[in-house]
Amino acid sequence: MFNNSTTRNVSVCAPNFDAVSNTSLVTNYIDIAVRFVSVCVHLVYAAIVLNVKKLRNSSYMLMHHVNLVSFIYVLQYMAFISQRTLLFGNLITLEIVLCTISELSWSVFRFLRTYSILLLAIYRYISVNNIQLLRKLNRKKNLLLIICCTWLAALLLTLVLKFSLSTTYSVFFCSPGYSDSIVLILINFVMVNFLSNVLPTTFILVLYVSISRKINKSKAKLRKRVADNKVSQSASSSSGSNELCKTKAIELKFAKQFFFINLISVLASLCSIFVDFLMVFASHRNFCYFDVLFMEFRPVIRVLFLICQSFIPVLSIFYNPEFDFKAKIKTFFGQ
């Protein structure tokens, strides 16, 4: 099935999927540069985590998982720098194997990209609502089990959708969701994006609103307590109040981090949805002209997507109470 479908698509769309240098040189170089920068940003995040002992605490495992998924997702783009598809001359079998693997990996990490953030949202929700459950959850083996279940769910969803709709990969970036039937392409597009973007993002939004309300209530109680402490002028109460202020400040910082990561994730999803659908749709024998029409536009959207993904590790560090980002910047510049 893969061999016939791939050969037919290549023969029809071949004039348009040669080297990526067919596009504007400026757009091309920006696209490639952003890919490398994105990889470097994720590597810097990993280096910081390895050098700051407190960041290796189990409470940050799900945050690191979000960045790991983002990093692997970005790495996939590095395999398609010089070509928009995998070409090995007469080695058709190798092309089929690698494109099939790539098709599955694109799909799995499409789910994981948003599900890892949903997992973090659930964790943050528990942290402000149920301390006892959080303590049980914070064991590394429990967190690893939850992460493994998330990966398994992403893989199962990928396989179920692929085989139930009989889709394969397109000739552009070996993108998943291609079919000779336009109806099946549309059905796959709607189902995948509902399950991988709309549904988890909706849950994340609900959890964020709940977390924000809880923190606002805590802040109101904190103000009242601080006011009461000032009246009583009790040293012990003042000490306890300072500790509570510190705890709530950390919660607020995490809430901001979570909000911006979710916002970035939504923007990245919008870019990804448009480009992925266009690449799969343009692979169809009746719509190859879409490739020519959007050849310059598609890399620009891809650059925006990669920039959004690069912000995830930056936000993870910038809003982390264990790492004074501003102080490190001042030290770096000798101020």
Question: Between the ranges 2-6, 15-19, 100-104, 280-284, where is the mean pLDDT highest?
Answer: 100-104
Query: Among candidates 257, 261, 243, 239, which has minimal Cα distance to 323?
Result: 257
Asked if residue 211 is part of any domain, the answer here is yes
Q: Are 169 and 103 in contact (CB under 8 A)?
A: yes
Quick one: pLDDT band at residue 229, thresholds 50, 70, 90? Answer: low
pLDDT in tens, 43-85: 999 999 998 888 888 889 999 999 999 999 999 888 887 666 6
Asked if residue 13 is part of any domain, the answer here is no
Query: Using H for helix, E for strand and C for coil, what is the string for 127-166?
Result: HHHCHHHHHHHCCHHHHHHHHHHHHHHHHHHHHHHHHHHC
CATH number of the structural domain spanning residue 208: 1.20.1070.10
Number of domains present in the structure of the chain: 1
- Count the Cβ atoms, other than its own, within 10 Å of residue 122: 16
Asked if residue 282 is part of any domain, the answer here is yes
Asked if residue 60 is part of any domain, the answer here is yes
Asked if residue 90 is part of any domain, the answer here is no
Asked if residue 332 is part of any domain, the answer here is no
Q: Alpha carbon of 144 to those of 2, 54, 140, 151: distances in Å?
A: 35, 18, 6, 11
With pLDDT > 70 as the criterion, what percentage of the chain qualifies?
Answer: 76
Q: How far, in Å, CA of 4 to CA of 323, rounded?
A: 54
- Domain encompassing residue 122: 23-83+96-228+249-324
Asked if residue 218 is part of any domain, the answer here is yes
Quote the pLDDT of residue 85. 67
- Which DSSP symbol is given to 234? -
Tokens matching residue 177:
């969701």
- At 176 the three-state DSSP class reads strand
Query: Among candidates 250, 302, 261, which has minimal Cα distance to 67?
Result: 261
Asked if residue 88 is part of any domain, the answer here is no
